Homo-oligomer: A and B are copies of this chain.
């Protein structure tokens, strides 16, 4: 198995252990937390944490805990985004969304639980991963700063706020993508770096890399909105009047902007991962994705 497949299998096993430990009550809340977390998906964000750790010369054992935290946060954000008050989506990764499968009240609380529980993971006693208290704290803070009212949630707010409006520019959209998707991917990379004891300069590079990757990833998502077999409701974003490059500019310019981000991300990945087995391989896989 290559590095990515090995880490994916190990991450899945960490996630299984975590769910079996954290969500054991005979309640719909706990069943729904597990349902949301075990929906499969590409696990891109935890892979970013694990591969950034590897790129900085760490060992994977240090990075499964922050990788779990980032996946919990990502999952919470999907569960809340799918709610009727936001995107009102009934399909996610080919399965009913949490509020459809369970109840709207349950889905709201699942998001709240996953978000809170993410911060319980930075626990040297309960989840030892061979790093110092200061490193645990630094990872927890990196995550919190990336996802709060000046980060991911503000991006989500702007996404809603700009829906249906016609005065947006490509820059508006890129900034929304940077906050909504890029900030969490940036934190995912930085947490991997912190776990490996990376320098402040390396952490800055990882943050920018993750943010650019997030923008590129989201531009790809927009382009796939009309595609079949993505596991999501087809043309959902278009029908809802969401901003997208194709609506804001010409097809040629849209492709050009996406290409710029891809190039930037590939170049940084090559610098961070000169052997090309980790981050570079992941970027290569993402460039091919059809969902």
Task: Spell out A's residues near B (CB within 8 Å).
Answer: 22-23, 25, 27-30, 33, 76, 80, 83, 85-86, 104-106, 108-109, 111-120, 122-124, 133-134, 136-137, 140-141, 143-145, 147-154, 156-158, 160-161
Contact for A141 among B29, B111, B122, CB less than 8 A: B122
- This protein's copies in its complex: 2
- Identify the closest chain B residue to A73 (Cβ): B116
The smallest beta-carbon distance between A190 and chain B, in angstroms, is 14
Cβ–Cβ contact B109 & A156, under 8 A? yes
Residues of B within 8 A of A83 (CB): 85, 108
- A76–B124 Cα distance when bound, in Å, is 27
Residues of B within 8 A of A153 (CB): 29, 109, 112-113, 116
- Identify the closest chain B residue to A149 (Cβ): B113
Residues of B within 8 A of A111 (CB): 112
Contact for A120 among B112, B148, B158, CB less than 8 A: B148
The answer to whether A106 and B157 touch (CB under 8 A), given A22-B150, A120-B141, A120-B144, is yes
Contact for A140 among B22, B109, B140, CB less than 8 A: B140
The smallest beta-carbon distance between A59 and chain B, in angstroms, is 22
Cβ–Cβ contact B120 & A154, under 8 A? no
The smallest beta-carbon distance between A240 and chain B, in angstroms, is 12
- A224–B85 Cα distance when bound, in Å, is 32
- A76–B33 Cα distance when bound, in Å, is 20
The smallest beta-carbon distance between A120 and chain B, in angstroms, is 4
A-B contact pairs, 12 of them (CB 8 A): A25-B150, A27-B157, A27-B161, A28-B161, A29-B157, A85-B105, A105-B160, A108-B108, A111-B112, A119-B140, A119-B143, A120-B144
Cβ–Cβ contact B113 & A154, under 8 A? yes
Residues of B within 8 A of A156 (CB): 109, 112
The smallest beta-carbon distance between A83 and chain B, in angstroms, is 7
Cβ–Cβ contact A115 & B117, under 8 A? no
Cβ–Cβ contact A149 & B105, under 8 A? no
- A145–B29 Cα distance when bound, in Å, is 16
- Identify the closest chain B residue to A160 (Cβ): B105
* Max count, chain B CB within 10 A of own CB: residue among A83, A104, A117, A119: A119
Cβ–Cβ contact A148 & B116, under 8 A? yes
Residues of B within 8 A of A148 (CB): 113, 116-117, 120
List 12 extra interface pairs beyond A80-B112, A85-B108, A123-B141, CB under 8 A: A22-B150, A23-B149, A83-B108, A111-B112, A113-B149, A115-B115, A115-B116, A116-B149, A116-B153, A117-B148, A122-B137, A133-B133
- Identify the closest chain B residue to A24 (Cβ): B150
The smallest beta-carbon distance between A109 and chain B, in angstroms, is 5
The smallest beta-carbon distance between A85 and chain B, in angstroms, is 4
- A27–B115 Cα distance when bound, in Å, is 23
